[in-house]
Structure 1
Amino acid sequence: MRRMMITSSLMLAMSATAMASQVYKWVDAKGVTHFSAQPPQGQEATSINTAVPAPKPAANEEPKPAPTFESIANPEQAAIDEKVKKDVATKEAERKKYCENVRTNLAQLQNNPRLSMEVDGEVRRLTEDERQARISETQKSITDNCE
């Protein structure tokens, strides 16, 4: 058991060194391209970057967080967590749209003193008291839901 641990530790240490080693590229007199861990004697060689970059997410895709121990240990909980996150994101988008509409309504109420509304199929103008009451209701709604 101890020998296996020592062997595996040694292999692990050596693999990191091998992965980090330099690679050189050169073309010989016959036009053949060569790759080697050591540069050739008397010839110019270019160093090649062997590190593999991490894949980049698509432009319209958000990077996903690394899986946690809990999500790996309990995939059912991970599925529930993902569903809850989607629901929260949906409700937040709905709230933002609501707030945008309420702010637009408030601007209309504040900037237009001659507003009309339809009541029982009949169109009539809002009185100044009704308009002020709606302005205060709209401001309260913004305070309660949008800030």
Structure 2
Amino acid sequence: MRTFFLTVSLLIGISPPCMAAQIYKWVDAQGVTHFDAQPPQGREATTVVTPSSPASNQSPPPPSGAIGDQQAIDKKVKKQVSEQQAQLKAFCEQARTNLAQLQNNPRIREDVEGEMRRLTDQQRQERISEAQKQIADNCQ
């Protein structure tokens, strides 16, 4: 058991230097970029520099101006979303009110070119179905 742990410890101890092998980069005749541990025969290749230690989980801090710009964009988008939600809420309330009036009042009149006309039952039913469809499509 002791030899097992010793072997595993040695393998773990020597693995980072093995992983730090040289990496070559080149572009073939078709314009495709290749990366490999061996340089290509008869072609020019550049060496890719790899970090010697593992990268930390933290990303580098963005430039200070970028944070302010992103926060301004976030505020603008949040404001637009809240305005759209308010408009949708007002639309839904009005649509529900109109639907209730259409359903509860069989004598609906509308102004057509300055003249008040009464809706027929068929027109009223069409408007009810339109209002129900709008509410189902746009309101929760």
Tell me the TM-score range normalised by the shorter chain. Answer: 0.5 to 0.7
**Which of 111, 136, 139 is residue 143 of structure 1 equivalent to?**
136
How does 1:90-101 map onto structure 2 within 5 Å?
90-101=83-94
In the alignment, which residue of structure 1 is the partner of 2:95? 102
How does 1:1-147 map onto structure 2 within 5 Å?
74-147=67-140
The structure with the larger Rg is 2
**Alpha-carbon RMSD:** 1.9
Shift of 1:102: 0.4
Shift of 1:74: 1.6
User: Within 1, Cα distance between the matches of 2:69 and 2:136?
Assistant: 38
TM-score w.r.t. structure 2 length?
0.53
User: Within 2, Cα distance between the matches of 1:117 and 1:97?
Assistant: 22
Q: Which runs of 5 or more structure 1 residues have no equivalent in the other structure?
A: 1-68
4+ runs deviating over 3 angstroms: none
AA paired with 1:99?
Answer: C
SS in 1 for 2:89: helix
AA paired with 1:145?
Answer: N
User: Within 1, Cα distance between the matches of 2:79 and 2:114?
Assistant: 41
Shift of 1:118: 0.9
Count the aligned residue pairs. 79
User: Within 2, Cα distance between the matches of 1:99 and 1:108?
Assistant: 14
Q: Which runs of 5 or more structure 2 residues have no equivalent in the other structure?
A: 1-60
Shift of 1:85: 0.3
AA paired with 1:135?
Answer: I
TM-score w.r.t. structure 1 length?
0.50
Deviation by residue 1:70-106 (Cα, 9 ceiling, x = unmatched): 7x76210110011100110111011101100000000
